[in-house]
Amino acid sequence: MATYAYPHGHLIYRKLRYAFPRMVRGEGIYLFDEEGKRYLDASGGAMVSNLGHGNPVVAEAIRQQAAKLDYVSGIQFTHDAVEELAQALCEVAPQGLDKAFFLSSGSEATEAAMKMARQYWIAKGREQKYKIISRMPSYHGNTLGAMGVSGRQAYRAMFQPLYVDHPKIPPPVCYRCPWGKTFPRCDYECAHELEIAIQKEGAETVAAFLVEPVLGSTGAAMVPPAEYYPRVSEICRKHEVLFIADEILCGMGRTGDWFAISSYGVSPDMMLVGKGVTGGVVPLSAVLARHEIIDAIYESGNDFLHAQTFTHHPVACAAGLATIRYLQENKLIERCREMGKVLHEALRPFQNHPLVGDLRGKGLLAGLELAANKTTREPFPCRLKIAEKISAEALSRGLIIWTNAGHVDGINGDAILLAPAFIVTCEQIEEIVNLLEQSLDAVTMKMKEA
């Protein structure tokens, strides 16, 4: 049996000290490797696969589009797939987001949104507005512009000289409240922190506030309290700062609504979409914006200055359109909401597990934050690699989970994320919970023996 690890073959592996199973087939929520071992994909890969693997409807849409029109330059032409996808996506988006621009990855969408915000303010005669306030921790991509607004220190530290670092504020994480408050006995200091940052930087220099409505892997499915987004939205309006919602991970139904921000009753000025927009079948992302933003750029006499070879790609757009229609026709957003209740109820007993400090999430997105001390909430030292050990135990049992490390202080902090496809059944949720419990127990036992 071949070992797929560096320095095997010609491929540069994502991890240079890890042996990769070679997958050959996907079906529903399962993946199969070349040895015939079955894996239950409880994280949808990187929180991407919302329809499950091998969806025949999306595959057929891709085949038909590739046979009819496989590629044209988005700078020179438009086509049916992108026009129809733009309409379909804007119809399910928060009110007011009525223009769409399509790219290939989440990082590209972040970069495009930053450029769009900058061009908007220049068009309005406000050239000094360029800063993008975001949160620490957070994740908005791995390209250099996106790194500057991301708060994931492990990904940023080595490349510090290469990117422009933008201002950061603490996130609304009630489990580790930076102000030592207990919700709801607080005054939403987390939201007020945005106004403090805007005043410190100078509102005349701040272009936008960029946030993940439900924080993804860097926050282990952190769900902000009800008034957080209404308050920060009002602060943005007060200081003429664009509000950008990064729904790349938490959007396209993952939290039980088409977009997580919608449940807060506010509409952003711009929104980023990716991952589940095609169920991961092909790469696709999008920036949605209010027409007022594009109108301003148009009226200034300029075009939107962001060119990518695969912008508005016909085959990717056909996959996105098929995904939206499949979600609608099979009522999978509603199903995600209901199965999310089943998942969170099944996970409730983990609150008493010695390794688990907190459970959180919404819909079919669940986070388990691990803690060395459940009372003080002290994280495990990073040198113990607790999340990595749990992931390895799970994989050996045929369970795929997503892990994160370093979210507490940039170095320490372990978490597990679950994000199964919307087609997951009650029986499969039970299987996920049982395998996860076995994995946590195995790591607990080994820690006691060490």
DSSP 190-208: HHHHHHHHHHHH-GGGEEE
Confidence (pLDDT) at 154: 85
Q: For 43-63, write each residue's pLDDT tens digit.
A: 999 999 999 999 999 999 999
One DSSP character per residue, 333-383 reads: HHHHHHHHHHHHHHHGGGGGSTTEEEEEEETTEEEEEE-SBTTTTBPPPGG
From the list 34, 52, 154, 46, the residue with the least C-alpha distance to 407 is 154
- Please state the length of the chain: 450
CB-based burial, 72-93: b 16+ in 10 Å, e otherwise: eebeeeebebbebbbebbbebb
> Lowest mean pLDDT: which of 6-15, 91-100, 102-111, 149-158?
149-158
Mean pLDDT of 354-382: 97
In whole angstroms, give the CA distance from residue 179 to residue 197: 16
Give 81-94 pLDDT, tens digit per residue. 999 999 999 999 99
Report how far residue 318's alpha carbon sits from residue 389's, in angstroms, rounded to the nearest whole number: 40
Reported as a pLDDT band with limits 50, 70 and 90, residue 139 is very high
According to the model, what pLDDT value does residue 43 have?
98
* pLDDT average, residue stretch 332-353: 98
Q: Cα separations (Å) of 240 from 177, 289, 326? A: 28, 16, 38
The confidence band for 450, taking pLDDT boundaries of 50, 70 and 90, is confident
Mean pLDDT of 172-201: 95
pLDDT at 147 (0 to 100): 96
Q: What is the pLDDT of residue 233?
A: 98
Q: pLDDT value at position 190?
A: 97
At 3, the pLDDT band (50, 70, 90 cuts) reads confident
The predicted model scores a pTM of: 0.97
Give the mean model confidence (pLDDT) for residues 186-201: 97
**Residue 162: its pLDDT value, please?**
95
The superfamily (CATH) of domain 23-54+331-449 is: Aspartate Aminotransferase, domain 1 (3.90.1150.10)
pLDDT tens-digit readout, 420-440: 999 999 999 999 999 999 999
Would you state the CATH architecture of domain 57-329? 3-Layer(aba) Sandwich (3.40)
For residue 36, count other CB atoms closer than 10 A to its CB.
8
Percent of the chain with pLDDT over 90: 97
For residue 417, the cross-strand partners are 367, 402
- The domain segmentation of the chain, as residue ranges, is 23-54+331-449, 57-329
Task: Work out the average pLDDT over 351-362.
Answer: 98
CA distance 251 to 277: 8
d(CA 58, CA 325): 10
Average pLDDT over residues 95-100: 98
Q: Is the pLDDT of residue 2 over 80?
A: no
**Rounded CA separation 312/72 (Å):** 8
| Banded pLDDT at 1 (limits 50, 70, 90) | low
- The pLDDT tens digits for 223-270 are 999 999 999 999 999 999 999 999 999 999 999 999 999 999 999 999
Angstrom distance (rounded) from CA 284 to CA 274: 6
Q: In whole angstroms, how far apart are CA 354 and each of 95, 312, 357, 363, 377?
A: 44, 49, 8, 25, 12
Distance of CA 96 to the CA centre of its chain: 22
**pLDDT of 114 above 70:** yes
Query: What's the whole-number average pLDDT of the chain?
Result: 97
pLDDT(311) > 80: yes
Split at pLDDT 50, 70, 90, the class of 125 is: very high
Strand ranges across the sheet with 206-211: 97-103, 285-290, 270-273, 242-246, 206-211, 131-135, 168-169
- CA 209-218-428 angle, 5° bins: 125
pLDDT of residue 307: 84
